Amino acid sequence: MSLLFHKKRSKQNALDMDDVFADALNLSGLQKESLEGKKVRLISSLNIYFLSILFFFILAAFSVRLFDLQVLEGEKYRKISLNNSLEKNIIFAKRGIIKDRYGRILAFNSDNLEDIDVKGELTENVYKRKYTDKYKGLAHILGYVKYPARDKNGNFWREDYEGVSGVEEYFNDVLNGKKGAQLIEKDAGGKIISSTHIIAPQDGKNLNLSIDAKLNDELYKSLSSYIESVSFQSGAAAIMDIKSGEILAMVSYPEFDLNKMTEMDEGYLKSVLSDKRKPLLNRAIFGTYTPGSIVKPFVALAALEEKIISPEKKLLSTGALKLPNPYNPDKPTIFRDWKAHGWVDMKEAIAHSSDEYFYIIGGGYKDQEGLGIKRILKYMHLFGLGEKSGIELNSESAGLVPSPKWKEEVFAEPWNIGNTYHTSIGQFGFLLTPIQALRATAAIASYGKLHTPSLIKDAKRPLLELPFSKKDFNVIHDAMRMATNIGTARPLKISGIEIAAKTGTAQTGVNNERKNSWIIGFWPYKNPRFAFVAMLDRGDEHETGSASHAMMHFFKKIIKEIPEYVRGEYPNYEKESKSKDEKKLKKEK
């Protein structure tokens, strides 16, 4: 009967009374303890009513509280919620230490993180940059930095230390290291709940300069004291190891206070910017000056290499070289020497700085062939004159060696023989930086090794071998030694040291009322090791002061203070007492 029921249901999809009676027959077999066959009572309408009221009051309470939070006090809690957050803070790395070649500390950091006030913008947790005041003359070498800085809203607009000049600028990425980051959790009241380092900072690398801070200090003091005692306004000087190209000293006068510049002392900054002597100008690498007669040894080497004259051949210096004027025979063109030297050979011409001799071998005269401007340009550039030296400092000037192309562009005039004469003695638009003159002088002293100068100890920099014979270099060596013994560089004829040198003087100003004074040279004469240059800017044309006298004071000082340099050796400073800065660094480590 049951089977018949299912068949009928599947066909009719309906329930009839036979099904009910069929299931009723099975009631006695249900398990009541498992609630089988239990009669279910319906929920009363009264219970549903009370539950509805309860849910209504709960919903109303939530609605009232939501209205209070979002409408009545919404702005208050919005501000609180903004402060209740995770913040990512910068962790600044310590900037690398800068030392001289003997490990003396020149630039270092404060022991602890400090709050730095940068023009009213507070920067927290920064290591203050400091510079030694024990040694003078380092400002243009080291440079200074700007600190990371926040705006008035507390956001960093400069997130790193920024080197402004010197090696601080050139090696900024090396010295800076890598900053880290920290997550700070704050509650709604702004209190720090916890902090976590997510990126650890990496301190910057230290820098070992080629500079001897003590030698540099002596050079600066000698140069500055001499300039202040005469009419010159400014100057620069430098010393190079001719075997390595390393710069041992490089100064520019006047200089500036690195600590005050880093601290952005507004009063001091205004005084520096208003100073007519331009203390911020690094004259050693950026200042370009008419070289005058210091180019004569290089012109002489070019003449020897081109075999247009022998060192022994004498030329007559009458005090003026006269060229016929085809337009007016009664008014010849005159190229004056500073004095009549008589008959002079190459060594004598260099020692006594005969202009007339170099007019002739530069441009030619009568039966004496001259180099001509093309060959002069070739050899000047071969020595790196009129080109950047490649020293590790930004903003280096290239200078200028005059050429027909340059004259056409600037003056819209063709080149003439007079221009070649003046170029041969370092005039007529000729411009050099002291570092270029030093590099070229070191090449003469080292018998043709043209180093790329370096401010880093033991740096491997490019080197060129110049195509001149040792015999020709010896001619120039002897001539420059003669200049100190009987010639224009006699102030450097000093007992206790043998120096070979060449002087140069160039007139400046509208009426040639001012002068620049140069000297280049090397020592020891018989076994050269160090080359030097000094340039004094804008002195009184009628005053006898010169760069030779400034360097005379320097050499007399190192004979007493650092005699090892006189012998062409490096000094031993092991017994030198450590400065306070050095002790601080050891404590910090």
Q: Tell me what pLDDT residue 589 has.
A: 44
Same domain, 255 and 167: no
Same domain, 203 and 217: no
For residues 378-404, average pLDDT: 97
The tally of domains found in the chain comes to: 2
Write b or e for each residue in 451-485: b if 16 or more Cβ atoms lie within 10 A of its Cβ, otherwise e.
bbbbbbbebeeeeeebebeeebbebbbbbbbbbbe
| pTM to 2 decimal places | 0.82
Whether residue 402 is preceded by a cis peptide bond, meaning omega within 30 degrees of 0, is no
- Mention every residue, 6+ apart, whose C-beta is less than 8 A from residue 560: none
Residue 296's closest CA among 362, 252, 225, 218?
A: 362
pLDDT at 483: 98
Q: Are 184 and 195 in contact (CB under 8 A)?
A: yes
286 Cα distance to chain centroid:
12
Q: Span 437-449, mean pLDDT? A: 98
CATH number at residue 520: 3.40.710.10
CA atoms within 13 A on the CB side of 445: 34
Whole-number Cα distances in Å, 137 to 43, 106, 222, 224, 382: 100, 11, 11, 9, 31
The pLDDT of residue 126: 83
Domain membership flag for residue 45? no
Average pLDDT over residues 53-68: 76
Query: Which of these ranges, 20-29, 161-170, 177-186, 194-203, has the smallest mean pLDDT?
Result: 20-29
Query: CA angle at residue 537 from 164 to 519, to 5 degrees?
Result: 105
* Mean model confidence pLDDT for the chain: 87
* 142 lies in the same domain as 181: yes
- Pairwise CA distance, residues 533 & 551, whole Å: 9
Residue 246 domain-assigned (yes or no) = yes
DSSP single-letter state for residue 356: H
In a domain, 397, yes or no: yes
Whether the pLDDT of residue 20 is over 70: the answer is no
Higher pLDDT, 45 or 505: 505
369 and 354, same structural domain? yes
Residues 245 and 185 reside in one and the same domain: no
- 3-state secondary structure at position 169: helix
| 160 assigned to some structural domain | yes
* Single residue among 208, 225, 244 that ends a domain in this structure: 208
Question: Does residue 217 sit in the same domain as residue 195?
Answer: no
Is 47 among the domain residues?
Answer: no
Query: Which three-class secondary structure state does DSSP give residue 189?
Result: coil
Residue, of 16 and 318, whose pLDDT is higher: 318
Domain end (from 157, 173, 208) = 208
Q: What is the pLDDT of residue 11?
A: 46
- Report yes or no on 51 lying in a domain: no
Other Cβ atoms less than 10 A from the Cβ of 75: the count is: 9
163 pLDDT more than 60: yes
Sorting pLDDT into bands at 50, 70 and 90, what band is 84? low
Specify whether 547 is located in the same domain as 438: yes
Are 226 and 197 in a shared domain? no
Confidence of residue 351 (pLDDT cuts 50, 70, 90): very high
- Is position 581 within any domain? no
Q: In whole angstroms, what is the distance from residue 551 CA to residue 391 CA?
A: 23
Res. 12: pLDDT tops 60: no
SS (H, E, C) 531-544: EEEEEEEEEECCCC
pLDDT tier at 576 (50, 70, 90 boundaries)? low
- Classify residue 26: in a domain, yes or no: no
Domain end: 208, 236, 265, which one? 208
Amino acid 517: pLDDT: 95
Same structural domain, 145 and 166: yes
37 or 166, which is more confident: 166
Q: Which residue range(s) make up the domain with 201?
A: 86-208
Q: Do 370 and 510 belong together in one domain?
A: yes
The reported pLDDT for the residue numbered 391 is 97
Task: Give me the CATH number covering residue 114.
Answer: 3.90.1310.10
More confident residue, 23 or 422: 422
Residue with tokens 């005699």: 563
Same domain, 198 and 235: no
Q: pLDDT tens digit string along 272-317?
A: 999 999 999 999 999 999 999 999 999 999 999 999 999 999 999 9
Picking from 422, 525, 427, the residue whose alpha carbon sits closest to that of residue 481 is: 525
Q: Are residues 386 and 283 in the same domain?
A: yes
Residue 9's pLDDT is 45
Q: Could you report the per-residue pLDDT of 215-239, keeping only the tens digit for each?
A: 999 999 999 999 999 989 999 999 9
